[in-house]
Structure 1
Amino acid sequence: MSIVIRDVREHELDSVLALNNNAGLAILPLDSAKVRRFYEQAEYFRVAERDGNLAGFLVGFGSGADHDSSNFGWFRERYPQFFYIDRIVVASRRRGGGVGRAFYADVQSYAELRYPQLACEVFLDHGADPALLFHGSFGFREIGQHVMAEANVRASMLMKELCSYPWVRDTYGDALPDVPWTQTRALSQPGAQRPTGT
C-alpha cells in the first residue's frame, strides 16, 4: 500500500490526460497537446503510483520558465524567484489516502533546494474549503486573488516561504551534490537545460 512518487514516463501521458479531465471543476481541462508541452517543458512532472496503479500527478515550473498560465504570470509580476505548482490531480478513488500529502512533501523537497518560495492557487468558485484547509496545513497563505480571464475562474493565490533555501543557496550555490534525490528530470525538449533556480 505504499505510495511511489517518480518522474512521469512518456507512455503515461494519455493516462495523465484522462486523470486530469475526470477530476471535476476544481481543475481546468487539458488536451493532449498541452500534456505533451508539460512533458517537454515542465521542470517537475511526477506521478504517484499506489498498488502499481497511477494515482495522480503534479506539474510544476520554476519562475524563469516560458509558461503560458495567467496565474503563473500573476506570480511572476510580483515575485522574482519561486517554484509554481501548476496543477495537482489525485484520482477520485485515492483522495484522502495520503497521495496529495506525499506529492506536497516531494515537491517541497525539490523546490527548497532551488527556490525561496513555493506558489500555487486554489479555485474559489467550486467548494474550495477542503483545498484551502489542505494548503493551510502545509503553511501556505493567501497573498491575493486573481480572476483567470481565459477561464473566468477566481483563484486564491497562495505562497509559502521555503526556510531551507537560504542555507542551501549559501552552502551549495547552483552546485548541488550529485546524488539521486537532488536531480532534476531530463527534459525531452531538444536543447533544454537543467534549471538552476536563479
Structure 2
Amino acid sequence: MSIVIRDVREHELDSILALNNAAGPTILPLDASRLKRFFDTAEYFRVAERDGNLTGFLVGFGSDSSHDSSNFRWFARQYGAFFYIDRIVVASRRRGGGVGRAFYADVQSYAEVRYPLLACEVFIEHDNDPARLFHGAFGFHEVGQHVMPETAVRASMLTKELCSYAWVRERYGDALPDTPWLRRTRHLPGPAQRSTGT
C-alpha cells in the first residue's frame, strides 16, 4: 500500500487531464495542449501511484522558466529565485491518505538544493480551508494576495523558506554531487546544470 512518486510518462497525459478536470473549483481546468506544454517545459512533473493506480500529480517550475501563469509572474516580481508549484491534484478517493504530504516531501527535497524558496497559491473564494490548513501545517505562510486576471479568482500567495539551500549553495555552488537522489530524471535543464546561477 505504499505511495510511489515518479516522473510522469507521456502516455499518462490523458489520465492526468481527466484527474485535473475532475478536481473541482479549487484547481483551474486544463486542456490537452496546455497539459502537453507542461509536459514539455515543467522542471518538475511527477505522479503518485498507489496499488498500481495513478492517484495524483504535481507540476512545478523554476523561477527562470518562461511559465506564463499570472501567479508565477506575481512571484517573479517579488522574488529573485524560487521554485513554483503550479498545481497539485490528488484523486478525491485518495485525499487524506498521505499522497499530498508525499508529494510535498518529494518536491521540497528536489527544490531545497536548487532554490531558496518554495512558492504556491491557494484559492480563497472556494471555501478551501483544508488546502490552507495543509499548507500552513507544512510551513507555508501568506505573503500577499493576487486576483488572477484570466479568472478573477483571488489567490492567497504562499511561500516557504528552504533552510538547506544556503548551506548547499555555499558548499557546492552550481555543481551538485553526482549521486542518484540528486540526479535529474527529466530531460529539462535545471539550475544545477546551467553555467549561470539561480
Taking structure 1 as the reference length, the TM-score comes to: 0.96
Unaligned runs of 5+ in 1: none
> Are 2:191 and 1:195 aligned?
yes
Deviation by residue 1:79-138 (Cα, 9 ceiling, x = unmatched): 000000000000011000000000000000000010000000000011121111000001
What SS does the aligned partner of 1:58 have?
strand
> Are 2:90 and 1:90 aligned?
yes
Unaligned runs of 5+ in 2: none
Counterpart amino acid of residue 181 in structure 1: W
Residue 193 of structure 1 and its aligned partner are, at CA, apart by 2.8
The residue correspondences of 1:1-198 to structure 2 (distance < 5 A) are: 1-187=1-187, 192-196=188-192, 198=198
Cα separation, 1, equivalents of 2:149 and 2:47: 29
Residue 152 of structure 1 and its aligned partner are, at CA, apart by 1.1
Instruction: State percent identity of aligned pairs.
Output: 74
Cα separation, 2, equivalents of 1:41 and 1:185: 14
Cα separation, 2, equivalents of 1:185 and 1:64: 19
Residue 194 of structure 1 and its aligned partner are, at CA, apart by 3.4
Cα separation, 1, equivalents of 2:38 and 2:53: 21
What SS does the aligned partner of 1:87 have?
strand
Deviation by residue 1:151-176 (Cα, 9 ceiling, x = unmatched): 11000000000000001101111111
Q: Which structure has the higher relative contact order (CA within 8 Å, separation 6+)? A: 1
Residue 149 of structure 1 and its aligned partner are, at CA, apart by 0.7
Query: Contact (CA 8 Å) 1:44, 1:184: kept in 2 or not?
Result: no
Counterpart amino acid of residue 80 in structure 1: G
Query: Contact (CA 8 Å) 1:184, 1:195: kept in 2 or not?
Result: no
Query: Contact (CA 8 Å) 2:21, 2:30: kept in 1 or not?
Result: yes
Cα separation, 1, equivalents of 2:39 and 2:88: 15
